[in-house]
Amino acid sequence: MNRSSGFLAWFMDPKRRGPMLIAPAITVLLLVNIIPLMWSFGLSFFKYRANTLKLPKFSWFYSYEKVLTKDNIWETLQTTAIIVAGSVGVQMVLGFLLALLFASQFPLRKILLMFVLAPMMLSNVAVAIYFKLFYEPEFGLLSQFVQSFITGEMYVLLSTPAGALIGVIFADAWQWTPFVMLLVLAGLVSVPKHLYEAAEIDRMSWWRKFTTITFPYVRSLLLLAVLFRTIETVKIFDLVFILTNGGPGTATETIGVLVYRTAFQFFRTSNSAAMGYILLFAVIVLTSLYLYVIKQRESEEI
Amino acid sequence: MKKRAIGQAGWLWTSLASVVAFIYFFPVLFIILTAFRSRSDTLATPPKWFFTPTFDNFYHIFFRSMANSTEYVATGFHMYFFNSIYISGMSVLLALLIGTLAAYGFSRHPLRGNDTYMFIILTTRMLPPIIVIVPIFLIFRITGLAGTYTGIILMYTAFNLPFSIWMMKSFFDELNTEIEDASRMDGASERSVFFGVCIPQVKAGLAATSVFALILTWNEFLFSLLLTNKLTRTMPPAMARTIGGEINVDYGLLAAMICLFIIPIFLITYLLQNQLLRGVTFGTIKK
Amino acid sequence: MATIELQNLTKAFGDLIAVDNVSLKVEENEVLCLLGPSGCGKTTTLRMVAGLETATSGDIFIGNKNVNNLDTRDRNLAMAFQFYALYPSLTVAENLANPLHADNLSDEEIKKKILEVADILQLREIVNRKPHQLAEGEKQRVAVGRAIIRDPECFLFDEPLSRLDVQLREQMRGQIKEVLSDLKKATVIVTHDQLEALTMATKIAVMRDGLIEQVSSPHDIFAKPNNTFVAGFIGTPQMNILECNISEINSSIIKIKVLDQEVEIDFKTSLSVNKNDSYFIGIRPRSFEIVDNNTLDNFSGTIELIENMGSEILVHVKNNHLTFRSVQSRSHKLKIGDVINLKPKNGQVHLFNKSGEVIRNE
């Protein structure tokens, strides 16, 4: 095969190698993600309802205005923020503790670890349905537990706004804590043993060992876990929809639920697109800020 | 007292870990038990922990009785199972292949604005699926991809690309390039440098990426619901269809489905556990 | 008063016996070097003294106290690790000061000690840097500094110079030797580099496959090796060790036959050897002198290869199938193809029996 001529050579030319390697990935993402994104981004500038036959009317920021001035959206963002903060917060703390538990080698570790990882492998829908059962006032385990041991009455967790929020946060945190745990555990496991040995020679206290050796290694992974989980939790839909349907009232109506309702219940299609992009904008800003701060911290250390 | 090496703990620790693991696993245990219970047992008050197990639920996964008759008809569930395996597997493989190549490109031949591209790739994960589902649905309809394996696999591949690229890039960043240079000097083509030298070193990263990607696509519901047809449907929409309305959820049936459905992922994760732990950290920590 | 004593120390990893029944003693003020090739068990032995590995059997005494069941932190040792084990999140100063926190010293005292050590090891300028900003040599010095900043029972060094380049190594060798003699504590150094051992140690223990081959002073290790392994391991260029037969014994003068050559060697004392038995003869390359005529007391051969060693050369001399090496000065102006006669210097020939043990009259 003659290497120095022909299409293959043009393809493999060192100058182009970088772009060529990236090309397939970019193509797929372009087709599947970015083009539809652009489409619906465009749609957000029109007035369009999917349940009528009327053609979309170009209307600049009409949809955005509508969305931003309606009472709902700020409340919804607030609700979403509470759920995200609550769930990710719990995941961080619990995930870290669980990781500490599994950091050393002990008999049966591999199997026990699988038990703790199992929740992550269930589908959102499954978790939602069964937690709904748990929270059920008549048959649910939670209520029966409260009935037998605390009050004598049925306990309806999801009837109050606070209760509903807690119910959602609890279920979501339960499902995804293993993810954080796994990442933190991987960090704990990667600390070079020599450092702990030197610490023994130096007669370091347990606390100092943790803050000087362990935590720095874990920190970056913990932050990565938080980043991913936050991005995913902001979109939360399945769990909330099935568990509380946004209720009671709109107490647990997250952005994900609101967008769904706007698009498929009220058929205000362009509004829903606008909502989505406002959310996207918010998340992009927050994420960039987050990554920026991380980069700053890292360069400070140097 | 018996001295232990640093990082070792004994059976005492195992007991503690067992208690914690059991508590955490409890809801899953409930689901597994429910799979073997009749409906009345499941909803009993007070909760019935000891019951006679039944395989009815499992049977019903594969054979359903039609209304108004006692005839049992195959549900074709094995097909959904197969579809899940095929579609998830293919998309993970593709994401791995394309993503790793791209990660290699980003790492070894950085372009101007590398960080920007990487960030844009990350942003594709940030939108609620609801927003993009409508245009995607329409595009799929128009291009005839709706209901095809190709369509949904393409979709899932795109889902997995961001994570795959971010993970693998940090792995490639960590590699010592001298070995690659040495290989090139020995006359190896670029392809054999990539497959022969680089890939073996990042095996742990491939393992970690596969597991996370697999979990993501295995349980995905919305896109599968809209983009597959009766023949290509995966498990999650199939599960949803069979549980009926909100009021009459057949908990036992659903539990049985979940039990079966979780097995492949469980196995793969267990097998890759060691690689996984080693894999996830590489490159994200400054050594 | 601090001594380290190992009695019948053994460590097995499953079926592999890494350290086999080792007994050693290190007095106060002594520097013992555990020397040997990779995998000989020297590092494992050191780690057992430190308490980082548990012994399979045997006893370890530090300061006359049996420390078998003591945790590392209770043994009051200081150790410099082969891969430095510097805490990445702390500066050099904080790394150095780390061992002192357990001693409850005041901040000023700690500061003073840091500066003291920094001066000794020339770390002043880099005191505020983090480990990943340091060069190899600097990291090495910080690791040593962290060990000597304390006042422990004894010091342990694991391959302290293995990661440095030649110049740096020379420098550090001298520095460490000075520091150690000032500190006057029992010290154990593990190394695979004989030059390090020969310069820094007061006593050398050569190890192979978990066993101690010989324990002697640096001089004796070199001049009086107990077996062919030690003889071949110590000294560069490597000693010529050749198989031979004894053809004649004349009190202290033994005529040996090495392949076709018969050479008479005066061992100065009579040795218990048997005629016609096979033995090994060991002569270091520097133990030859060139003579003019081929008489009975020297080897002759043709120069096959000349290796450049700076101001000296290493000649490979061949006679039939017999090759031996000799270090000579350039002044002889030797060329390939020259025929030369090499006479072993008196008292610098070693005789070993078939199994490699030395035959000597003590």
- Check CB contact under 8 Å for B284 and A224: yes
Among C13, C48, C54, the residue to mutate for chain B (most B Cβ within 10 A): C54
Q: Which of A172-176, C194-198, C339-343 has the highest mean pLDDT?
A: A172-176
Contact C221, C206 (CB under 8 A): yes
Q: Which of A152-156, C99-103, C201-205 has the highest mean pLDDT?
A: C201-205
Per-residue pLDDT tens digits for C344-356: 888 888 888 888 8
Mean pLDDT of C81-86: 87
Q: Give the per-residue pLDDT at B286.
A: 35
Instruction: Report the number of distinct structural domains present in chain C.
Output: 2
Is residue C36 one of the residues assigned to a domain? Answer: yes
Is residue C361 one of the residues assigned to a domain? Answer: no
Q: Does B109 touch chain C (CB under 8 A)?
A: no
DSSP helix/strand/coil, C281: strand
- Check CB contact under 8 Å for A302 and C52: no
Contact A63, A259 (CB under 8 A): no
Is residue A132 one of the residues assigned to a domain? Answer: yes
| Residues C180 and C249 placed together within one structural domain of the fold | no
Chain C nearest-CA distance from B112, in A, is 28
Mean pLDDT of C300-325: 87
- A254 chain-B contacts, CB cut-off 8 A: none
Mean pLDDT of B182-206: 79
Q: Which of A47-51, A222-226, B209-213, C125-129 has the highest mean pLDDT?
A: C125-129
For chain B, the average pLDDT equals: 78
Residue C337 is part of a domain; what is its CATH number? 2.40.50.140
Q: What subunits touch chain B, counting only 3 or more CB pairs under 8 A?
A: A, C
- C54 chain-B contacts, CB cut-off 8 A: 3, 5
Mean pLDDT of A76-87: 90
Does the structure show a pLDDT above 80 at A77?
yes
d(CA B81, CA B233): 9
Q: Does A6 touch chain C (CB under 8 A)?
A: no
Per-residue pLDDT tens digits for B92-108: 999 999 888 888 888 88
Is residue A8 one of the residues assigned to a domain? Answer: no
SS3 track for chain B:
CCCCCCCECCHHHHHHHHHHHHHHHHHHHHHHHHHCCCHHHHCCCCCCCCCCCCCHHHHHHHEEECCCCCCEEECCHHHHHHHHHHHHHHHHHHHHHHHHHHHHHHHHCCCCCHHHHHHHHHHCCCCCHHHHHHHHHHHHHHHCCCCCHHHHHHHHHHHHHHHHHHHHHHHHHHCCHHHHHHHHHCCCCHHHHHHHHHHHHCHHHHHHHHHHHHHHHHCCCHHHHHHCCCCCCCHHHHHHHHCCCCCCCCHHHHHHHHHHHHHHHHHHHHHHHHHHHHHHHCCCCCC
Does the structure show a pLDDT above 50 at B287?
no
Q: Give the per-residue pLDDT at A89.
A: 94
Is residue C173 one of the residues assigned to a domain? Answer: yes
Is residue C172 one of the residues assigned to a domain? Answer: yes
Of A194, A195, A203, the CB nearest to C73: A203
Q: Give the per-residue pLDDT at A57.
A: 67
Provide the residue range defining the domain that includes A92.
62-301
Q: Does B17 touch chain A (CB under 8 A)?
A: yes
**Minimum CA–CA partner of C71 in chain B:** B3
Dihedral through CA C212, CA C214, CA C216, CA C221, nearest 10? -130
Mean pLDDT of C103-127: 87
Per-residue pLDDT tens digits for A43-69: 777 766 666 666 666 666 767 777 777
Q: Give the per-residue pLDDT at C189.
A: 93
Token readout for A122 is: 């269930």
Instruction: Report the number of distinct structural domains present in chain A.
Output: 1
Per-residue pLDDT tens digits for A128-186: 888 988 888 877 777 777 777 777 666 777 788 888 889 999 999 999 999 888 888 87
Q: What subunits touch chain A, counting only 3 or more CB pairs under 8 A?
A: B, C
Higher pLDDT, C219 or B122: C219
Locus of tokens 């050569």: C206
Size of interface A-B (CB pairs under 8 A): 277
For chain C, the average pLDDT equals: 87
Binned at pLDDT 50, 70 and 90, residue B181 comes out as: confident
Q: Give the per-residue pLDDT at B258.
A: 86
| Residues C57 and C162 placed together within one structural domain of the fold | yes
Binned at pLDDT 50, 70 and 90, residue A284 comes out as: confident
Of A43, A144, A232, the CB nearest to B46: A144
Calculate ∠ Cα B269-B275-B279, nearest 5°: 110
Mean pLDDT of A84-91: 94
Burial class (CB in 10 A: 0-12, 13-18, 19+), C40: buried
Mean pLDDT of C298-322: 87
| Residues C146 and C293 placed together within one structural domain of the fold | no
DSSP helix/strand/coil, A250: coil
Does the structure show a pLDDT above 50 at B283?
no
Contact C46, C158 (CB under 8 A): yes
Binned at pLDDT 50, 70 and 90, residue B277 comes out as: low
- Check CB contact under 8 Å for C88 and B287: yes
Percent of chain A at pLDDT > 90 equals 12
- B42 chain-A contacts, CB cut-off 8 A: 139
Per-residue pLDDT tens digits for A91-133: 999 999 999 888 888 888 888 989 999 999 898 888 988 898 8
**Minimum CA–CA partner of C86 in chain A:** A195
DSSP helix/strand/coil, C318: strand
Binned at pLDDT 50, 70 and 90, residue C2 comes out as: low
Q: Which CATH superfamily is domain B77-281 in?
A: MetI-like (1.10.3720.10)
Q: Give the per-residue pLDDT at C323.
A: 85
Token readout for C35 is: 């020397």
Of C54, C88, C132, the CB nearest to B3: C54
Binned at pLDDT 50, 70 and 90, residue B284 comes out as: very low
d(CA C273, CA A272): 103
Q: Does B99 touch chain A (CB under 8 A)?
A: yes
Q: Give the per-residue pLDDT at B2.
A: 46
| Residues C64 and C169 placed together within one structural domain of the fold | yes
Contact A91, A174 (CB under 8 A): no
Does the structure show a pLDDT above 90 at C190?
yes
Token readout for A182 is: 């796994």
d(CA B95, CA A285): 27
Binned at pLDDT 50, 70 and 90, residue A87 comes out as: very high
Q: Does B267 touch chain A (CB under 8 A)?
A: no
Any idea where the domains of chain B sit in the sequence?
11-74, 77-281
- Check CB contact under 8 Å for B3 and C132: no
Mean pLDDT of C209-226: 92
Q: Does B202 touch chain A (CB under 8 A)?
A: no
Higher pLDDT, A8 or A92: A92
| Residues C28 and C100 placed together within one structural domain of the fold | yes
Mean pLDDT of B95-122: 84
- A182 chain-B contacts, CB cut-off 8 A: 276-277, 280
Per-residue pLDDT tens digits for A243-261: 888 778 778 888 888 888 8
Q: Is 0.80 surpassed by the pTM of this model?
A: no
- Check CB contact under 8 Å for A201 and C99: yes
Residue C156 is part of a domain; what is its CATH number? 3.40.50.300
Higher pLDDT, A20 or B48: A20
For chain B, positions 161-220, list CB contacts with chain C under 8 A.
none
Q: Give the per-residue pLDDT at B47.
A: 67
**CA-to-CA separations, C349 to B242, C195, C220, C280, in angstroms, rounded:** 93, 22, 14, 11
Binned at pLDDT 50, 70 and 90, residue B45 comes out as: low
Binned at pLDDT 50, 70 and 90, residue B65 comes out as: low
| Residues C215 and C323 placed together within one structural domain of the fold | no
Beta bridge pairs of residue C246: C256
Does the structure show a pLDDT above 60 at A7?
no
Does the structure show a pLDDT above 50 at B194?
yes
Per-residue pLDDT tens digits for C144-184: 899 988 888 889 999 888 877 888 888 878 888 888 888 88
Of B21, B22, B106, the CB nearest to A22: B106
- Check CB contact under 8 Å for B122 and A104: no
- A19 chain-B contacts, CB cut-off 8 A: 105, 109, 111
Q: Give the per-residue pLDDT at C23.
A: 92
Is residue C235 one of the residues assigned to a domain? Answer: no
Q: Give the least confident one: A90-99, B13-22, C97-106, C251-260.
A: C251-260
d(CA C211, CA C207): 6
Per-residue pLDDT tens digits for A188-198: 877 788 888 99
Does the structure show a pLDDT above 60 at B3?
no
Percent of chain C at pLDDT > 90 equals 25
Provide the residue range defining the domain that includes C259.
240-352
Q: Does B280 touch chain A (CB under 8 A)?
A: yes
